[in-house]
Structure 1
């Protein structure tokens, strides 16, 4: 296993554990993987640095939940440490997602284009005339190939439990799809198409002119969780409240400020924070994800540890009371 990159993650202050981070380039796992320079989706940058590195981790010393988190953003070691401490397996995949900048302005806001491209990038099937993302470069197949590779190269992790009985794909009923911002929105769009165990949207979803949020959903609404900061532009612009209500999340509890309500946060699916970010909307956007923008208490500890654990582990059958739609949340943003 000399071709693996194995590093020992640092233990969190809240709990002491060690987990391996396993890294491997997507282009080395699957020879069918291709570059798409037309959307700046390449295997190496101009300096020759690999851009298609994928990461996985699991703490084999923690009782497993038998669930796999697929993270649709750049690798976040702090988040993965926490996921592993909950007994979750986690992978971050490199898939064709750098398409946003190529969309003509007239198409970007037509109410359909973004959702179509997000779905094509997720499933690797033709859904948009603006991109051509084949199956090996979509999130579903990249995830499957990575897990299949992990099952052989990292047997201690028992990754094979996430492969379907016919060996042709993943056990999506064991998968939690999650991301922040762009990744959160794609996670939610994908879950409309494919039933998954859970969706966790950090600072998302957005796509404020799109209608896909109201489509019939393969993944029931009680399995979708969102967390955002009130100073985030996605909140002040009503993007989050709009998406949450169109997806029916108000049927599972009110919007709850996690800084004022203790866990389990009224069993809701819509969580917000107004923690002090010095009035910085940019920091607010990233503050709901473990990392440098996250808010700390006077002792230097991140204040939202209980929130992250809730988002990824709260029983989906425990829900809050239905709440009426908010008349002040602007649904039609074309007016």
Structure 2
């Protein structure tokens, strides 16, 4: 009986916050570093059959990875892995929150290899996403070895950073065995394709938090309802209502299949203030003049973001909430939305 009573505590302690290492940088500053994956790890290889290469046809490097940290800011002891192209505006904000941030080169251009008969079978996309993220065999349509999966690429980048930038205290994100990252300290995040892969990966691997911008998609897949290694209260999402993924019910479907309705209602951030009913599902209807493409990119910091008359970003509080809201503070459960269609094969 005593053992049974301890189990909830042990489960919770797996996510218990460990004291973050304090910076002792003699010259505190924001560090912005980059290095090619092929230079960090000699095992890294190209996979041209899925357009996963080191250089494009013009010779421009495609495997450049980015990292940043601000030693002037008290560290949270958490690492954000961004699964999209490098975003300087986002990384500046993450560092301002006391978060370390990296962007890794991983396979994300594989849509073209999928036979039409397999593309909409409800399983293929999720399997390839998981193989691209883990470097493990989950799909028969590709062969991505461990050194070329996101997990190992991220680990090798952090190892390089721990030597190249010791002021940043990157070593804290390597596990006790020294053979991978300490995923309990990792936040995975991305936009669109990256948001979808982040959510798929978190089903497989327990992480500290997931932040999905304009996603997850995979509107005909079933992986969203699989048992999740990462509890649903640790998954946050933000979309614009004119994004085709929203108007097509792709996002609301994924959010409900992942059980995010158990942690609060859908909240329009333009009509509410933090903590947004402690929900995990945020939307905006900022005026984009009917431009669905702008709506898709508006939710992440950048040129398409919503701005006020003085040119200041309007969603600063939202971005802060997504990455920093206490995961144990959740909203009231809500029923499934009858207007959100789940069977999109019709």
Same fold (TM over 0.5): yes
Segments of 5+ residues of structure 1 without an aligned counterpart are 1-16
Which residue in 2 is equivalent to 1:138?
Answer: 149
Aligned to 2:214: 203
Please list, as runs of the form range in 1=range in 2, the aligned pairs for 1:211-290 lying within 5 A after superposition. 211-290=222-301
Which of 323, 328, 333 is the aligned partner of 2:339?
A: 328
Matching of residue 55 in structure 1 with residue 69 in structure 2: no
Correspondence 1:316 to 2:322: no
The counterpart of 1:153, out of the listed 142, 164, 169, is 164
Shift of residue 334 of structure 1?
Answer: 1.2
- Give the Cα separation in 1 of the matches to 2:167 and 2:290: 45
Query: SS of the residue aligned with 2:270?
Result: coil
Distance 1:306 1:127 in 2: 38
* Matching of residue 187 in structure 1 with residue 189 in structure 2: no
CA–CA distance in 2 between the matches of 1:100 and 1:313?
33
Task: Give distance in 2, aligned partners of 1:171 and 1:288.
Answer: 29
- Please give the alpha-carbon distance, in whole angstroms, between the structure 2 residues aligned to 1:189 and 1:47: 33
1:3 aligned residue: none
- SS for the counterpart of 2:335 is coil
Per the alignment, in what secondary structure is the counterpart of residue 91 of structure 1?
Answer: strand
Separation (CA, whole Å) in 1 of partners of 2:90 and 2:157: 19
Corresponding residue for 2:44?
33
**Aligned partners of 1:97, 1:169: CA distance in 2, in Å?**
22
Aligned partner of residue 158 in structure 2, secondary structure: helix
Tell me the alpha carbon deviations over residues 80-118 of structure 1, each in whole angstroms, 9 at most, x when there is no partner.
Answer: 000000000000000122111211121111000000000
Query: Helix, strand or coil: the match of 2:176?
Result: coil
Going from structure 1 to structure 2, the CA distance change for 1:237 and 1:307 (only over 3 Å counts) comes to same
Q: SS at 1:207's partner residue?
A: coil
Runs of 5+ consecutive residues of structure 2 not aligned to the other structure = 1-27
RMSD: 0.8
Q: Distance in 1 between matches of 2:56 and 2:241?
A: 36
Structure 2 length normalisation: TM-score? 0.91
Q: Counterparts of 1:314 and 1:156 in 2: how far apart (Å)?
A: 27
- Structure 1 stretch 292-301 or stretch 93-102: which is displaced more? 93-102
Classify the secondary structure of the residue corresponding to 1:259: helix
User: Does 2:128 align with 1:86?
Assistant: no
**Rounded Cα–Cα distance in structure 2 between residues aligned with 1:46 and 1:188:** 31
Cα separation, 2, equivalents of 1:278 and 1:26:
40
User: How far does the alpha carbon of each residue in 1:198-218 deviate from its partner, in whole angstroms, 9 at most, with x for none?
Assistant: 000000000000000000000
Q: Aligned match of 1:101 in 70, 88, 112?
A: 112
Please, which of 111, 115, 123 is the counterpart of residue 126 of structure 2? 115
**Matched position secondary structure for 2:80:** strand
User: Partners in 2 of 1:38 and 1:137 — Cα distance?
Assistant: 14
Runs of 4+ with deviation above 6 angstroms: none
The Cα shift of 1:18 comes to 5.1
Shift of residue 40 of structure 1? 1.1
SS in 2 for 1:57: strand
Once the two structures are TM-superposed, the CA of residue 41 in structure 1 deviates from its matched residue by 1.1
Match of 1:296 among 296, 304, 307: 307
